[in-house]
Each structure stands twice: as C-alpha cells, then as structure tokens.
Amino acid sequence: MGGIKDRVAVVGTGCSKFGENYHMGIEDMIVEAGFEAMADAGVEAKQIEAAWVGTLNSAFSGTSLGDALKIQNIPISRNENYCASGMDAFRNACFAVASGMYDVVLTLGFEKLKDSGARGIPNTRNHPVMAYGITAPNLFAMAANRHFHRYGTTKKQLALVAVKNHHNGSMNDKAHFQSEVDVETVLNAPLISSPLGLYDCCPTTDGAAAAVICRADMARSFRADYVLVKGLGLAVTSGAPYFKPGFEYDGFPATTLAAKQAYEQAGIKKPLEEIDLAETHDCFTITEILNYEDLLFCKKGTGGRFIEEGHSALGGKLPVNPSGGLKSFGHPIGATGIRMIYEVTRQLQHRVGDRQVKDAQIGLAHNLGGPGAVGCVTILGNP
Amino acid sequence: MGGIKDRVAVVGTGCSKFGENYHMGIEDMIVEAGFEAMADAGVEAKQIEAAWVGTLNSAFSGTSLGDALKIQNIPISRNENYCASGMDAFRNACFAVASGMYDVVLTLGFEKLKDSGARGIPNTRNHPVMAYGITAPNLFAMAANRHFHRYGTTKKQLALVAVKNHHNGSMNDKAHFQSEVDVETVLNAPLISSPLGLYDCCPTTDGAAAAVICRADMARSFRADYVLVKGLGLAVTSGAPYFKPGFEYDGFPATTLAAKQAYEQAGIKKPLEEIDLAETHDCFTITEILNYEDLLFCKKGTGGRFIEEGHSALGGKLPVNPSGGLKSFGHPIGATGIRMIYEVTRQLQHRVGDRQVKDAQIGLAHNLGGPGAVGCVTILGNP
C-alpha cells in the first residue's frame, strides 16, 4: 500500500463555459460539465457508481447533482474545503476508487457567484478573518507590499502575471475573459487595494467542471490516452494565519506542506525540472508569484524574477496557468480545482491547440483557500 | 479488492455531553469529543495523520477542527450530506484509510443549533422543499398519516417509540434528555403537526462526537477490543421526493438502497437475525417505525407492530436506539452519525453499563437526511 500513485486514472473531463452565466442555473452548468466528462470517457450516466461534488453552496448539492445528471440512487458526497472544495472532492473520490469500493466515479465542482442563485454561500459575519472587515484583496495586498519591501518585487512583475494569463486565456474558448491586456493597461488600471489594481484581481464568475475517474487497471478500456493520479496533497494550517503575530505575509506554508506531500507520493525531487506545466491558484497576481516560491519552483523571494525571466510563460521552463488561470476563468469556488484538473489532463493528452505545452508528461494543479490556511496539490502524469 | 469489509477499524470513540450547551462554543465541544476519542485509542494529537469533519456549518470547519485539537498542518476535509454529514465524513475517512494513504485518522461531527453561534447554517429560502413552507414535522406527519391510513398504525404505537427511547436515554449520561416518559404523557402532549405531538419530535440540541480509525491490521496495537467496519452504504435519491406525484409517503427508498449496499458488503442476508443492535434515525417517532421497514428488519406496514411487540426494546430481537436515539440526544446535525458510531462501537465493546445489549457482535448505524433523499448505513462488527 502506501500512497495513491498510479492506482487511479482520469478518463474523462468536462468544463462549462465560465462567465457571467445569468442565462444558466446551477443545474445547467452541472449538465454542461458533467455530460461532457461522461462523453469524453465514453460512459453513460448509469455506469457512474458514485459521485463527489465540491462546492461552497450548501443547499442540497448532492441531490442537485443527482437530479441534474440523472445519477440518482447512488452514493453522492459533498466536500467543502474553501477555495479547494473541488480539488478535495476529486481527492476523496480518488481514495474511494483506490480503496476498491467503486470502479468508475464522477467528481464535479461548481459555483454560481453572479446572482442571487448563489444560495447557500455562507455570509462572512462570523468569518474568522472577514468579520474584521478584511477582504481577499486586502489580505493579498498585504502580502504584495511585504514582498515588494523584502524582496524588491515590483508592480510591473505583478502586471506580467496578468499579461501572461490573459494571453493564455485568449486561446481558451471556455475562459471568462478571452482578451489580451498589455502592461500599460494593467499598471494604469484603478486601484482595488494598493498595490493591487483591477487587473491584478480575478473576476467574479459562474462555472462548473467535472472528471470521470476509474481504477487505473481498467482505464485503457475507456480511452488510450488516460492520465494517472501521481500525488494528492492537502494541508490545513491554522485558520487565521494573518492574525498570528509571527506570520511573515510573504508566502503560504499550507501550499508548501501540500506540495511536499504530493511530490513525495509522485517521486518528484526537482519540481522545476520534472513538472511540465502547472495550474496554480492565481486569485491575485501576487498569489501566482508566491505560488512559484511555495510550490518550490524557485527560491523564496525570486518569484518576481521567475515571471520576468519568462520561466512560467508558454515555452518557458515550467509554464504556469496555460489555461489562462483564475485571471481569465474567474474563481467559481467549487469549480476551480476540477477546472484545473480538466486543463492538466487535456494538456497531458495533447488536446489543447495553441496553448499546448510541448511534450507535456507531468502536470500539477494547486488551490489555495481559507485565508491562506488550505493548500491542495494534485499531480497527474501520463502512464 | 471489492468492498471495505474488515479493512478498517474503529479504535477510539468520543462524545460530548449533548444538550443546550450555551456555555460551550463549537470548539469546546470539538475538544471534549475529539480528545476523548484520542484518549480512548491511546493516541496523541500528533499521531493523527488526516481528519474528516462532518457538519452543516460552513464557516471554516476544517480549520476550526485543526485549531481546536492542535492537529494543524495535516489534511482536513469537510463533508456535508444533510443529516448524514457525520456518517459520510466517517465513510470518506474509511476509504482514505482503506486506500493505503493514511494509517491513523480522526473523524468528527458537530453542530451547534441552540444559539447564534450556529453560524453558516444555510437558510431555507431556496431550499427545494422548505421554500414552500413545509417543515420537517409537516413532512413526517404526512408519512405518519399515510401509515395510519394504509397499515393501521396508531398514535399509541408512535408513543411507544418515545417511551422506549426515553427509557434508554435515562441510562445515558451524555443524552440531552435523561428522563422517562409514559404513554399517557406522550399522547396528551401538545400537537406539533398532527398526528405528531411534542414527544414525537426530537429536541434541538448542541453536540459533537468523534472516532479514531486505522488500518485493521494495526488496530490491535491501539486496543484489544477494536471494532471492524463491515459495510458502508450511501444512497441519494431525488432531492424532493415529496413533490413527486408517485411518492408513497410510507417509507424512504434511500434508506433501503443504502442498507442493501451495506448488507451486501457485510455479507448480511437476514438483518433481523444477524444484527444485534441498531442506532437508527428517529428524528420523529414515525421515522423509527419507517426505519424498521426500510432497513428490512420487518415487512412493509408492520413497523407499528414491531415496536408494540417489543422487538426493538432492550432485550428484544433487535434493540433499536439503545443510546436513547435522537429522541433523547437531539440531532445536532453533523454530530449524530458519529454519535451513533460511538454508541455502536461501545455496545460491541460491552462498555455501556445498564443499556448493554447482551452478546452484541454486529451493530448498525443509520441516518436519513435531505428531506428523505439521503440514506446512509454503517455496519460495525467485532473481529
């Protein structure tokens, strides 16, 4: 036993169009993503033995999933793990398959943030951080200022993250934003929380994404280009790190703890050399720079140079967010983690057209959630 | 592979005092249940490799658990599955252990229903059933009336469930209610939703419960009287069965579907003969009668006679809710499923004093949730 490596396979992926989906209900997006994933795997709804849904939406999510996809009468679980809800649903589904209980299961994440259909999203009145009036842009702005002060990171380096991710998103017809931006536009945009401007923030978006997974030894019967799960890391640090007197504000230990778990399971010793692409949690441009460091792609303090030197661009040493990232897709909370798994899987299958990472064999997906307290890392690879 | 039977063990259980815990916060109840479970297993917090928390409370539950128990920096997942949230957290934890990823994990459920500390409970404005003004007592009252009409079940038979469960609860110092009631009192109590009176309904309660589980092959190193997981069933039927024109109102198919999964895994062919005790979801007295039928303890329509003939009493053929049930413990949502696992485990360990079921070797725990759409069944047994 010991670990998950090469025991579970992704054989189908689906993703709704992300955006301001006022014309769609939650169920419409579930249908779009869920049936695309089943068609991609060549399975019918009746072959799905169990399901896991990731969402912050607490109004009857399991039954909503079953009703929308007509996969009733089977086990359906819901996971919520802040911004990593979708990826943690995927992780729990992998354990169930690896345990031998089920052969073929579905995992799906969704969120509807754009209208009052966003039922069940908890209010922030008693949130351990936000109750104090601190919002997400404020939190990450503090990290940006600290990084500027301590390591000489610049507003222009932040802008380069936005430019890169908008460029990648311009090649992705499922992205919320599909337009390029230039450095000037990003630097001259209205301030949201200094030093973060409008283009340093990801948008508010609706979306859903899904994956069909199965026992690795039966994956070939679904499709020849299946993808294997190599590592599943999750770490939950203290709930309000920002309030700890010793908190450094220049990175998130939860990401590093989760990455180390996943690297050890996958046998990865040198992430920069061994990983071919990564989808990481760029809720703000500064977050992507911190992610480079926290995921051990580069040394602490050198994330700004990492983007400036082009290492995270398509064609660079380790392309980050080839999909366009949260910057282009927004962050419909439960959807994001599985949307990343969709991108990584299809990159490894060499199916993504202009944004294809050449010779991609190993990919990483990463979420950061719960005011920096939750890190979740999934590593996928070709057989 | 195939199934979970005898691969995962329960080696420690804990349970807070259930009641109107105005003097306790969520964290206090987590500490009471969590550390009791760890002490019971003889493990320290630092030995816990991962955790699963079951709750309807969506305000940072994973981090709340880690902070309260000082089990930070490890993976912590949250499951929500309506009234089966705790039992589904236990189920997912079992899969993770059976997958080989972790050796020793904690699973804990909690809820605080009695004051405004009940942060994060979703409102019912958009609830698929309750948005129509139908509440839980109404739903189950309809089932009771149908059962009366179709099978001749009586208000006195309902009362016998209350009398039995209050009697059992009077022997349990962790119960919310620890007092006996008689049939007259139950029959003369104020009506809540006809035919259900005050004593036909479980109270509104705060509580938490926990279990430490591990790989079966290492269980003996923790305690000699460990208990094995024999079956884990979960079924999610359509989200609003009450609105389906053909819904019979006289039972819940989700319970039967989940029970059949668990019975098959555990190798149980004759539930009444093979199961020694059951903790079932008696949110209302009628629900327990329906559970007898849905869990296949007796034939459809004979649940009223089952209680009247004493089969579910302590000393009967299949004692049901020896703990006192939801009737005595209330139903702090996420806590209930694991509170049942606590009782079943300790019954199988012969540690429960006056309410001990003689020679107990196989026990069942059952939750019903999501307006009758979610059935969850766990079967535990001695080695």
Spell out which residues of chain A touch residue B238, defining contact as CB-CB under 8 Å.
63, 66-67, 72
Residues 6+ apart with CB under 8 A from A17: A32, A173, A174, A207
End-to-end Cα distance, chain A = 19
Q: Does the beta carbon of A61 lie under 8 angstroms from any beta carbon of chain B?
A: yes
Mapped onto helix, strand or coil, the DSSP state of residue B51 is strand
What pLDDT is recorded for position B131?
Answer: 56
What pLDDT is recorded for position A136?
Answer: 87
What pLDDT is recorded for position A119?
Answer: 43
Cβ–Cβ pairs < 8 A, chains A and B: 192
Nearest CA in chain A to B92: A92
Going residue by residue through chain B, which has 383 residues, state the pLDDT in tens, using 9 for 90 and above: 457 999 999 999 999 999 999 999 899 999 999 999 999 999 999 999 999 999 987 666 788 899 999 999 999 999 999 999 999 999 999 999 999 999 999 999 999 888 654 444 544 544 555 556 678 898 899 999 999 999 999 999 999 999 999 999 999 999 999 999 999 999 999 999 999 999 999 999 999 999 999 999 999 999 999 999 999 999 999 876 666 677 778 899 999 999 999 999 999 999 999 999 999 999 999 999 999 999 999 999 999 999 999 999 999 999 999 999 999 999 999 999 999 999 999 999 999 999 999 999 999 999 999 878 999 999 999 99
* ipTM > 0.85 (yes/no): yes
Give per-residue pLDDT as tens, A49-96: 999 999 987 666 788 899 999 999 999 999 999 999 999 999 999 999
- The tokens for A287 are 């977050």
Best of A56, A57, A83, A236 to disrupt the B interface (most B CBs within 10 Å) is A236
Q: B79 CA to chain A: closest CA distance, Å?
A: 5
Please state, rounded to an integer, the average pLDDT across all residues of chain B.
Answer: 93
Specify the DSSP element, H or E, that contains B39. helix B26-41
Tell me the C-alpha distance between A26 and A56, whole Å: 13
Smallest Cα–Cα separation from A28: which of A62, A61, A68? A68
Residues of chain A with pLDDT under 50: 1, 117-120, 122-123, 125
Residues 6+ apart with CB under 8 A from B116: none
Q: Which of B56, B58, B236 sits opposite A72 (nearest CB)?
A: B236
What pLDDT is recorded for position A358?
Answer: 97
Q: What count of Cα atoms within 13 Å lies in the side-chain half-sphere of residue B283?
A: 24
Residues 6+ apart with CB under 8 A from A292: A280, A298, A302, A303, A306, A307, A312, A320
Q: Does the beta carbon of A101 lie under 8 angstroms from any beta carbon of chain B?
A: yes
End-to-end Cα distance, chain B = 19
Radius of gyration of chain B (CA): 19
Tell me the C-alpha distance between A355 and A98, whole Å: 32
Spell out which residues of chain B touch residue A119, defining contact as CB-CB under 8 Å.
122, 125-126
Nearest CA in chain B to A68: B238
Residues 6+ apart with CB under 8 A from A280: A288, A291, A292, A295, A320, A321, A325, A364, A365, A366
Q: A337 CA to chain B: closest CA distance, Å?
A: 15
Hunting for tokens 């934003």 — which residue is that? A177
Mapped onto helix, strand or coil, the DSSP state of residue A50 is strand
Q: Does the beta carbon of B199 lie under 8 angstroms from any beta carbon of chain A?
A: no
Between chains, do B62 and A3 touch, taking CB under 8 Å as contact?
no
Which pairs with CB-CB distance under 8 Å and at least 24 residues apart come from B296-300? B296/B256, B296/B259, B296/B260, B296/B263, B296/B271, B296/B272, B297/B271, B297/B272, B298/B272, B300/B151, B300/B250, B300/B251
Residues 6+ apart with CB under 8 A from B251: B143, B290, B293, B294, B300
In order, the DSSP letters of B240-306 are -GGGSTT--SS--HHHHHHHHHHHHHHT-S-HHHH--EEE---SBHHHHHHHHHHTTSS-TT-HHHH
